[in-house]
Amino acid sequence: MPLRVTAAAVAAIGLGAVVAPAAAEDVLVRDREGRPIKFEIEAPGVDVRPYARILRRAVHGPEISRLTVRIMRLSDVQRICDDGQSNGCYFSGERRGLIVVPAGSADEVRHVLLHEYAHHIDAFRGGTREAREPNGTWRWWVARGMGKRLRAGTVAQDYSLGWSRSVAEVFAEDYVRMNGLRAYTIPWLRPPSRSVLTALHEDITGRDKLPDVAPFARKPAGTSPAVGRRIVRKGALRSQSTGAVAFTLRRSERLVSVFADLTAGTREVDARAALRCEGAPLAAASANARGRISLQQPDVGPGDCNLVLANLGPTAAYSVTITVEPLYLNDPGAN
């Protein structure tokens, strides 16, 4: 059965209050920026790689280096999380946060791990002055209208109105949706709009997200590239306009490389490219002085992706090449 996303224990406690058994195995992995993520494995036969992959791919910032993820048997998780039913919980201390999740497959733990990681962002990156913690992040707070909802009594900063009326839980489920999962467990509230997700993304990364736009051209059959194959698009892009190349990755752990070349005669090019997969922004880069954009993103797929090219300067001719390769050299399988 899928894991039930449960209320997080967002309590200002020291991590020592949840003592790990001496037999726990500590594993340290790094995200794509080299920041450490600490795992404590307390269940037999756990492969930490799926958990690490979920967090690497999730939208996050430097707060991830202040996190410990403890993986336990489900019965132990329910004991630690107090209520005998929870499938995950979060504790915040002054210097670190602790996520407790059960051993399971990536599909089983993805929602709960992302949900609890949102509580970690809330604890270490929250920023609105309108209300005490937990309060999400400040752009998200404004975009979601949480101040009005709080004053109207439709949400609370505790669980006095029920789990789904907690500000912390709405924030966590909005974060899960931003990372591409469709399940949304707040029954009384519509899922977050694009503007809400953009605000949340900017809060966490500090970077603007380019919009979804129509493709440059109708996607012909067979443009989902096989491993080592390329998609090439050429044409002209008007000033202050955007276009996109859509493609599908059928397998995980792909390396996606993008090269774009723009020319505007003697005038200076001002352009930006952004890669998105399954609704989540993955990488972005701006044109250099010669009008060239290059970006590379490992550990992509499976899913529907697009490359958005925004021309912020004069009308320019463009050439875009997208190459997909296996992340590991000994993986010859088709894309």
Instruction: Read off the CATH number of the domain in which 308 is found.
Output: 2.60.120.380
Residue 156 pLDDT = 93
Residue 211 pLDDT = 39
Q: Are residues 180 and 123 in the same domain?
A: yes
Q: Are residues 253 and 139 in the same domain?
A: no
Count of beta carbons in the 10 Å neighbourhood of residue 224:
17
Residue 282 pLDDT = 78
Q: Are residues 36 and 69 in the same domain?
A: yes
Residue 14 pLDDT = 38
Domain count, the chain: 2
* Adjacent-strand bridge partners of 276: 281, 306
Q: Are residues 152 and 270 in the same domain?
A: no
Residue 47 pLDDT = 92
**Helix, strand, or coil here: 85?**
coil
Query: Which of 164, 188, 205 is at the close of a domain?
Result: 205
Q: Are residues 317 and 181 in the same domain?
A: no
**Helix, strand, or coil here: 66?**
helix
Residue 296 pLDDT = 83
Closest among 278, 305, 331 to 110, alpha carbons compared: 278
* Residue 217 domain-assigned (yes or no): no
Backbone φ, ψ for residue 201 (5° rounding):
-60, -40
106 vs 49: CA distance, rounded Å? 9
Q: Are residues 283 and 191 in the same domain?
A: no
* Residue 224 domain-assigned (yes or no): no
- Model's pTM, two decimal places? 0.59
Could you tell me the two tokens for 10?
């967002």
Q: Are residues 180 and 108 in the same domain?
A: yes
* Residue 10 domain-assigned (yes or no): no
Could you tell me the two tokens for 314?
């004069």
Closest among 36, 59, 134, 55 to 99, alpha carbons compared: 55
Q: Are residues 170 and 247 in the same domain?
A: no
Backbone φ, ψ for residue 114 (5° rounding):
-65, -40
Residue 331 pLDDT = 45
Q: Are residues 172 and 234 in the same domain?
A: no
Residue 13 pLDDT = 34
Q: Are residues 273 and 190 in the same domain?
A: no
Helix axes 194-205, 167-178, angle to 10 degrees: 90
Give DSSP secondary structure letters for 194-248. Answer: HHHHHHHHHHHHS---PPP--BSS---TT-SPPTT-EEEEEEEE-TTEEEEEEEE
254 vs 299: CA distance, rounded Å? 5
* Residue 5 domain-assigned (yes or no): no
List average pLDDT for each run of 10 residues in the chain, which is 335 residues long: 37 40 75 92 92 94 94 92 82 90 92 96 73 78 86 92 95 95 93 89 71 40 50 90 88 84 90 83 84 85 87 90 75 46
Chain position carrying tokens 């990364």? 205
Q: Are residues 120 and 185 in the same domain?
A: yes
* Residue 211 domain-assigned (yes or no): no
Could you tell me the two tokens for 95?
């210097």
Are 262 and 269 within 8 A, CB to CB? yes
* Residue 3 domain-assigned (yes or no): no
* Residue 9 domain-assigned (yes or no): no
Where in the sequence is the domain holding 276, given as residue range(s)?
Answer: 230-326
* Residue 223 domain-assigned (yes or no): no
Q: Are residues 146 and 286 in the same domain?
A: no
- DSSP H stretches of helix in the chain: 49-57, 74-80, 106-125, 138-143, 146-152, 167-178, 194-205
Query: Which of 205, 222, 252 is at the close of a domain?
Result: 205
